[in-house]
C-alpha cells in the first residue's frame, strides 16, 4: 500500500528559531512524517537564511507562484490525499485551485492563531474601546474555516469563541495545541539552578505586533520601577527582525539591553531567572512560555499572556494585569527560591499534562484517516455554498491577475 500524500502550502518557509508559528509548523510536519505520509512543502515566499533546513527529512520542497496556473499542474501531478493551508490567507489564494483539481483531498486549515481575534484585541487596546469580534478579518477567516474540512485551533479560548460567538459546528474544528516532548527527571537534572541563573528575559519575533507592544510596556511602564528594586538585574530583550525602532530602546546605563536574534531560544531562556512578558493583547498560545517551561524558567505575565495555556493547573510563575502588582510579584519571585522552584514544577506539570505529543498525535491522525468526507461535507452545507463557483471571488480575482500578468 502506497503512502498517503500531504501537501502543505506555507505562508512562509518556516523559521522555528524566529517564531512560534515556525515551531508549530515543524511539529505538524513531524507528526505526519511519523505516521508515514509523503510530504511536499510548497510556498511562494522567498527563503531566508533562517528558513528551516528540511535536509534529513523526507520532504519535497516546492517553490510555487502566486496567481499562476502552474500550481494547478502541480496538483494534478501530485494528487494529494490531504492539503494543509498555513493560515487563512493561503487558503484564500490556493483553496479554489485545490477544490477544482483535487475535490476528494481533505482540506485542513492551520489557523496558527485566530487573526481576527488578535486584530480585534489590538484595535481595542489602541482605541481604548470594547473588543469587536465581528470585523472584516473575521468574515474572511471564518469563511476560510467553513470552506475547509477541518481547522486546527491552538487555543481552547479560540474554540469557544468560534463555537459560541460564531456558531461554528464543532465537527469543523479540532483543538491541536503545541506538541511537546514530556519533561523527564533526567531533563530537570540538567537545568541550571536558581543560584546559577540571573536577570530577566523577554523574547519574541518583532514582526508580531503584540511582541513589539510588550517591549514598549517593559521599557516605559515596568523596567523603570523594577530596576530600582533590583538594581543589579538586567532586562535582556531577544527577538528576530528587530528594526531600528526596537534597537533604539536600548539603554545600557539602565540595564535595558536589546540583544537581537537568539540562535537557540530555549538555550537562551534557560540561562535567565525569569521570563518577563506583560503582554497586552494577542491570541492563540504563546510559544515563549512553552519554551520557558521546557527549560525550567518561571514567567511573569498577564491574563492575556497566559490565556488558555494552563487549564485548571497552576501557572509556572505569576499572572497579573495590574502593572504595579506585576512588578512587586516579579521581584518577589526573583528573590524567593522556594516560590521559584514551585513555579518551575508547575511548568513541568503543564507541559506533561496538556502538551504531551504522545497523547495528542494519534487521536488527530485517526480522525483525519477515518473521516467520511462525503458525509462530513454534506453536514457543512454553508461550506458547500462558499465553495460553489459563483461565490468564489478569490478565484476570479486570481484568474484576473493571472491573465493580467500574461500581458
Residue from 40, 30, 28 nearest 4 by CA? 40
Domain identity same for 175 and 252: no
How many CA atoms are closer than 13 Å to the CA of 4, on its beta-carbon side? 15
Q: What is the mean pLDDT of residues 99-107?
A: 96
Residues 194, 318 share a domain: yes
d(CA 140, CA 93): 12
User: Does 347 lie in the same domain as 211?
Assistant: yes
pLDDT of residue 103: 96
Q: Is the dihedral of CA 235, 240, 246, 250 positive or negative?
A: positive
- Give this prediction's pTM: 0.94
> Is residue 368 within 8 Å of residue 174, measured between CB atoms?
no
Q: In this predicted model, what pLDDT tens digit does every residue of 353-375 receive, in sequence order?
A: 999 998 799 999 999 999 999 99
Q: In what order do the strands lie in the sheet with 173-175?
A: 59-63, 38-43, 5-10, 82-86, 106-110, 150-153, 173-175
Q: Tell me how far apart the alpha carbons of residues 112 and 265 are, in angstroms, rounded to a whole number.
A: 19
Euclidean distance between CA atoms 110 and 273, whole angstroms:
34
pLDDT for 391 equals 53
With 80 as the cut, is the pLDDT of residue 407 above it? no
Identify whether residues 368 and 337 lie together within a single domain. no
Whether the pLDDT of residue 389 is over 70: the answer is: no
pLDDT band per the 50, 70, 90 thresholds, residue 401 = confident
**Tell me, what CATH number does 270's domain have?**
3.40.50.2000
Higher pLDDT, 79 or 398: 79
- Which residues is 7 bridged to in the sheet? 40, 83
One domain, residues 113 and 195: no
Statement to judge: residues 176 and 194 lie in one domain: no
**Side-chain-facing half-sphere of 142: CA atoms under 13 Å:** 20
Domain boundary among 311, 330, 354: 354
What is the average pLDDT score of the chain? 95
Question: Could you report the per-residue pLDDT of 228-262, keeping only the tens digit for each?
Answer: 999 999 999 999 999 999 999 999 999 999 999 99
Check whether residue 146 and residue 169 sit in a common domain: yes
Of 354, 372, 393, the last residue of a domain is 354
> Burial level of 214, CB count in 10 A (0-12/13-18/19+)?
buried
167 and 232 in a single domain? The answer is no
Q: What is the mean pLDDT of residues 77-82?
A: 98
237 with 304, same domain: the answer is yes
HEC string of the chain? CCCCEEEEEECCCCCCCCCHHHHHHHHHHHHHHHCCCEEEEEECCCCCCCCCCCCCCCEEEEECCCCCCHHHHHHHHHCCCEEEEECHHHHHHHHHHHHHHCCCCEEEEECCCCHHHHHHHHHHHHHCCCCCCCCHHHHHHHHHHHHCCEEEECCHHHHHHHHHHCCCCHHHEEECCCCECCCCHHHHHCCCCCCCCCCEEEECCCCCHHHHHHHHHHHHHHHHHHHHHCCCCCEEEECCCCCHHHHCCCEHHHCEEEEECCCCHHHHHHCCCEEEECCCCCCCCCHHHHHHHHCCCCEEECHHHHCCCCCCCCCCEEECCCHHHHHHHHHHHHHCHHHHHHHHHHHHHHHHHHCEHHHHHHHHHHHHHCCCHHHHHHCCHHHHHHHCHHHCHHHHHHHHHHHHHHC
pLDDT at 186: 97
- For 288-307, write each residue's pLDDT tens digit: 999 999 999 999 999 999 99
Mean pLDDT of 2-26: 93
Q: Minimal CA–CA distance to 31: which of 75, 84, 67, 104?
A: 84
Check residue 390 and give its pLDDT: 52
Domain total for the chain? 2
Q: Are residues 306 and 363 in the same domain?
A: no
For residues 341 and 19, the model is more confident at 341
Q: Look up cell 537562551; give the residue.
A: 268
* pLDDT at residue 141, as a whole number: 97
What is the C-alpha to C-alpha distance for residues 278 and 326, in angstroms, rounded to an integer?
A: 8
Residue at grid coordinates 511562494? 44
Q: Which of 13-17, 199-203, 325-329, 335-339 shows the lowest mean pLDDT across its residues?
A: 13-17
Please provide residue 48's backbone torsions phi and psi, each rounded to the nearest 5 degrees.
-120, 175
Judge if 323 and 397 occupy the same domain.
Answer: no
Residues 70 and 99 in one domain: yes
**114-171: per-residue pLDDT in tens?**
999 999 999 999 999 999 999 999 999 999 999 999 999 999 999 999 999 999 999 9
Mean predicted confidence (pLDDT) in 27-34: 96
Looking at 311, 331, 354, the residue that finishes a domain is 354
Q: Using the predicted structure, report yes or no on whether residue 183 has a pLDDT greater than 90.
A: yes
In this predicted structure, what is the pLDDT of residue 1?
67
Place of cell 511548568: 347
- pLDDT of residue 85 exceeding 90: yes
Range of the domain at 316: 185-354
pLDDT at 281: 95
Residue 211 or residue 387, greater confidence: 211
Amino acid at each position: 500500500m502506497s503512502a498517503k500524500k500531504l501537501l502543505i502550502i506555507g505562508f512562509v518557509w518556516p523559521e522555528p528559531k524566529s517564531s512560534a508559528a515556525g515551531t508549530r509548523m515543524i511539529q505538524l510536519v513531524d507528526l505526519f512524517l511519523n505516521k508515514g505520509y509523503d510530504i511536499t512543502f510548497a510556498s511562494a515566499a522567498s527563503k531566508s537564511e533562517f528558513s528551516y533546513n528540511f535536509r534529513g527529512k523526507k520532504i519535497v520542497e516546492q517553490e510555487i507562484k502566486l496567481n499562476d496556473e502552474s500550481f494547478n499542474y502541480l496538483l494534478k501531478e501530485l494528487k494529494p490525499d490531504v492539503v494543509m493551508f498555513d493560515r487563512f490567507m493561503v487558503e484564500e489564494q490556493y483553496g479554489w485551485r485545490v477544490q477544482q483539481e483535487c475535490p476528494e483531498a481533505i482540506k485542513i486549515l492551520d489557523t496558527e492563531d485566530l487573526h481576527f481575534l488578535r486584530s480585534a484585541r489590538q484595535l481595542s487596546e489602541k482605541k481604548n474601546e470594547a473588543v469587536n469580534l465581528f470585523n472584516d478579518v473575521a468574515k474572511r477567516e471564518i469563511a476560510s474555516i467553513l470552506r475547509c474540512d477541518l481547522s486546527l485551533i491552538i487555543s481552547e479560548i479560540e474554540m469557544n469563541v468560534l463555537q459560541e460567538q460564531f456558531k461554528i459546528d464543532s465537527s469543523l474544528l479540532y483543538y491541536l495545541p503545541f506538541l511537546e516532548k514530556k519533561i523527564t527527571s533526567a531533563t530537570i537534572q540538567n537545568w541550571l539552578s536558581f543560584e546559577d541563573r540571573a536577570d530577566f528575559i523577554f523574547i519574541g519575533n518583532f514582526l508580531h505586533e503584540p511582541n513589539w507592544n510588550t517591549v514598549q510596556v517593559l521599557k516605559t511602564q515596568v523596567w523603570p520601577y523594577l530596576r530600582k528594586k533590583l538594581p543589579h538585574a538586567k532586562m535582556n530583550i531577544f527577538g528576530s527582525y528587530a528594526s531600528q525602532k526596537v534597537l533604539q530602546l536600548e539603554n545600557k546605563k539602565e540595564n535595558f539591553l536589546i540583544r537581537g536574534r537568539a540562535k537557540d531560544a530555549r538555550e537562551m531562556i534557560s540561562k535567565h531567572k525569569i521570563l518577563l512578558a506583560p503582554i497586552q493583547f494577542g491570541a492563540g498560545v504563546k510559544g515563549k512560555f512553552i519554551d520557558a517551561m521546557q527549560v525550567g524558567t518561571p514567567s511573569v505575565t498577564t491574563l492575556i499572556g497566559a490565556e488558555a495555556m494552563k487549564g485548571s493547573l497552576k501557572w509556572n510563575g505569576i499572572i497579573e494585569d495590574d502593572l504595579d502588582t506585576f512588578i512587586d510579584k516579579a521581584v518577589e519571585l526573583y528573590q524567593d527560591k522556594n516560590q521559584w522552584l514551585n513555579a518551575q514544577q508547575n511548568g513541568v506539570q503543564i507541559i506533561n499534562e496538556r502538551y504531551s505529543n504522545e497523547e495528542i498525535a494519534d487521536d488527530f491522525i485517526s480522525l483525519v484517516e477515518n473521516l467520511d468526507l462525503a458525509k462530513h461535507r454534506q453536514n457543512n452545507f454553508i461550506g458547500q455554498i462558499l465553495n460553489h463557483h459563483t461565490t468564489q471571488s478569490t478565484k476570479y480575482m486570481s484568474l484576473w491577475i493571472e491573465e493580467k500578468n500574461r500581458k
